């Protein structure tokens, strides 16, 4: 390292995001960037540690520790400190096909495993990552690099999310002819329709897709395999098939009144909102509006936060987020040691916006919904809840113990269920004859990605269940290597 004492000389800093009360007036990205000098200082905080856990990419206590795609973080931090931005970009792209996505939406488990974070504040890894790739686009360094030779092998990839896109780019680099099928009208999967524009501007997705097209990848939109093209046709036309369709089957509440008008799965709400925004800036009216409504979001994860931020921009009357767990501690507990991902209290962007507008954190903790009450027209009127304590039994299952006297009624005209996902949608897996695991995902061993059907592979959420964008990129890259081996007998893909 150019300096081994940077973590002592400089404190952790992050750029100030756009003011919450101003940014809820539009759909532009809320993140802002540091100056080059500030980024160099933050890069200097990366210490010369003997074992850099930031890029280990392991799973500890059911959480991700370090970077799943094994980004060479100390190397590009060092290069940024030296002002060698082009070299930093090359090191970043060596392991990550799309750092412009992860730099914006990844929760940064790398920072949770940063060695500096053992006794202080971790390096601002995510911010530096985004700065590197954004500068790469600004300088014109990121251009299409089509393969010099083609193998003649044809591969179909089903799904154009981060797993499908990374798998496609890697296989195209190896010289194969790659076609990506997407049931939506735009490429990107959840990157386009699942993540709101203020978190990931869609021009960022579109510019990368344009490069992939220039490299020779064929994209087929508005085409659902099994509906618009048969599974048999796919098997006949291609030498290999890779399933990367995600796991978007939303979990339901399973309570009385769940069928009330105004109760929606979170992804329905987010998808319609983003599509209407991209199609017409909401002029077409083809979206679920939260304007002047009391909104309740059930679920405490990223999807729930995206619902909050979307509802605020639609000028909702109020918004509350139900979280079934108790409020987390401000600092790590002994049961959550480094280098595990720190399970500590934090305000995500949508929660910061709600707090700025309404004066308090929108989350209500330890809340279990018991029933939903309708009005005379069948519309959602109110939610009845109790507070609970989550207990873990010896067999590993969790149960809710109701706290007596905590019943409460919440007025609501709009409810979004953001309780995670229960597996892939549709019948494609079954129609292909692919076995499912006990979570209903496509059964394929991690690191191998081959299903029980000859020539059919699976990667990303469709194989592992709901997970992070960075895990999807990891699996797409690794699956590409295994497909290349299957087709060619060996592979030089990383």
What is the C-alpha separation between 157 and 425, in angstroms, rounded?
16
Question: What does the pLDDT average to over 437-466?
Answer: 96
Q: What are phi and psi of 479, to 5 degrees?
A: -65, -40
Terminal C-alpha separation, the chain: 26
CB 115 within 8 A of CB 47: yes
Residue of 48 and 28 predicted with greater confidence: 28
- Is the alpha carbon torsion for 160, 164, 166, 167 positive or negative? negative
Residue 50 has pLDDT above 90, yes or no: no
**pLDDT over threshold 60, residue 424:** yes
Phi, psi of 61 (to 5 degrees): 50, 45
pLDDT in tens, 374-388: 999 999 999 999 999
pLDDT at residue 277, as a whole number: 98
How many CA within 13 A on the CB side of residue 242? Answer: 37
The model's pLDDT over 92-120, given as tens digits with 9 standing for 90+, comes to 999 999 999 999 999 999 999 999 998 88
pLDDT band at 325 (very low <50, low <70, confident <90, very high): very high
Token digits of residue 363: 């989350």
How many whole angstroms separate alpha carbon 106 and alpha carbon 294? 30
Q: What is the pLDDT of residue 168?
A: 98
pLDDT over threshold 90, residue 436: yes
Percentages of the chain per state (helix, strand, coil), in multiples of 5 = 35, 20, 50
Could you tell me the CA-to-CA distances from 275 to 140, 182, 381 in Å, in that order? 29, 15, 28
Helices 162-173/469-488 angle, 10° precision: 30
**Average pLDDT of the segment spanning 186-194:** 97
State residue 51's pLDDT score.
85
Domains belonging to the chain, first-starting first, are 6-138 (1.10.1060.10), 154-248+422-488 (3.50.50.60), 263-417 (3.50.50.60)
Whole-angstrom distance, CA of residue 42 vs CA of residue 122: 10
CA atoms within 13 A on the CB side of 84: 12
**Averaged pLDDT, 205-215:** 98
pLDDT of 238-289, one tens digit each? 999 999 999 989 999 999 999 999 999 999 999 999 999 999 999 999 999 9
Let me know: does 373 contact 381? Beta carbons within 8 Å: yes
Q: In a 10 Å sphere around its CB, with 0-12 CB exposed, 13-18 middle and 19+ buried, how is residue 310 labelled? A: buried
* 47 — pLDDT class (breaks 50, 70, 90): confident
112, 340 in Cβ contact below 8 A?
A: yes
Over residues 28-53, the mean pLDDT reads 92
Residue 358 three-state SS? helix
Rounded CA-CA distance 52/416 in Å is 40
How many Å separate Cα 201 from the centre of its chain?
Answer: 14
Determine if the peptide bond prior to 339 is cis (ω within 30°). yes
Per-residue confidence (pLDDT) for residue 2, from 0 to 100: 57
What is the pLDDT of the chain when averaged over all its residues?
95
Residue 1's pLDDT band, with cuts at 50, 70 and 90, is low
pLDDT band at 490 (very low <50, low <70, confident <90, very high): very high
């Amino acid at each position: 390292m150019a300096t081994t004492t940077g973590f002592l000389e400089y404190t952790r800093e992050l750029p100030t995001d756009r003011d919450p009360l101003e940014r809820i007036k539009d759909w532009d990205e809320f993140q802002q960037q540091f100056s080059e000098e500030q980024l160099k200082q933050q890069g200097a905080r990366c210490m010369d540690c003997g074992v850099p856990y930031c890029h280990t990419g392991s799973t500890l206590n059911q959480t991700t520790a370090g970077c799943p795609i094994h980004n060479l973080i100390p190397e590009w931090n060092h290069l940024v400190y030296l002002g060698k931005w082009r070299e930093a970009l090359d090191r970043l792209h060596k392991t990550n096909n799309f750092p412009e996505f992860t730099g914006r939406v990844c929760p940064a488990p790398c920072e949770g495993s940063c060695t500096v974070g053992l006794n202080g504040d971790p390096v601002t890894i995510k911010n530096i990552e985004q700065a590197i790739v954004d500068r790469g686009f600004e300088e014109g360094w990121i251009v299409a690099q089509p393969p010099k030779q083609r193998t003649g092998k044809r591969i179909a990839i089903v799904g154009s999310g981060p797993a499908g896109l990374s798998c496609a780019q890697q296989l195209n680099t190896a010289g194969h002819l790659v076609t990506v099928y997407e049931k939506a009208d735009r490429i990107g999967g959840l990157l386009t329709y699942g993540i709101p524009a203020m978190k990931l501007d869609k021009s960022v997705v579109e510019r990368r897709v344009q490069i992939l097209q220039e490299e020779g990848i064929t994209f087929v939109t508005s085409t659902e395999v099994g509906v618009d093209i048969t599974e048999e046709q796919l098997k006949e036309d291609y030498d290999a098939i890779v399933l990367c369709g995600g796991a978007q089957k939303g979990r339901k509440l399973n309570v009385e009144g769940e069928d009330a008008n105004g109760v929606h799965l979170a992804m329905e709400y987010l998808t319609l909102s983003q599509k209407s925004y991209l199609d017409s800036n909401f002029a077409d009216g083809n979206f679920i509006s939260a304007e002047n409504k009391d909104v309740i979001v059930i679920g405490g994860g990223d999807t729930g936060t995206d619902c909050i931020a979307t509802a605020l921009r639609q000028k909702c009357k109020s918004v509350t987020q139900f979280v079934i767990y108790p409020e987390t501690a401000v600092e790590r507990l002994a049961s959550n040691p480094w280098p595990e991902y720190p399970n500590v209290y934090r305000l995500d962007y949508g929660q910061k916006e709600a707090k700025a507008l309404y004066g308090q954190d929108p989350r209500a903790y330890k809340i279990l919904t018991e029933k939903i009450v309708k009005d005379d027209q069948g519309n959602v009127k109110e939610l009845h809840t109790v507070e609970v304590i989550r207990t873990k039994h010896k067999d590993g299952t969790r149960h809710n113990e109701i706290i007596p006297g905590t019943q409460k009624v919440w007025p609501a005209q709009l409810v979004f269920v953001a309780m995670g996902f229960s597996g892939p949608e549709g019948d494609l897996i079954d129609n292909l004859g692919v076995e499912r695991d006990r979570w209903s995902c496509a059964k394929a061993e991690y690191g191998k990605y081959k299903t029980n059907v000859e020539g059919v592979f699976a990667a990303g959420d469709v194989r592992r269940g709901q997970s992070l964008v960075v895990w999807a990129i990891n699996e797409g890259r690794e699956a590409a290597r295994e497909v290349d081996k299957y087709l060619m007998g060996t592979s030089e893909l990383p």
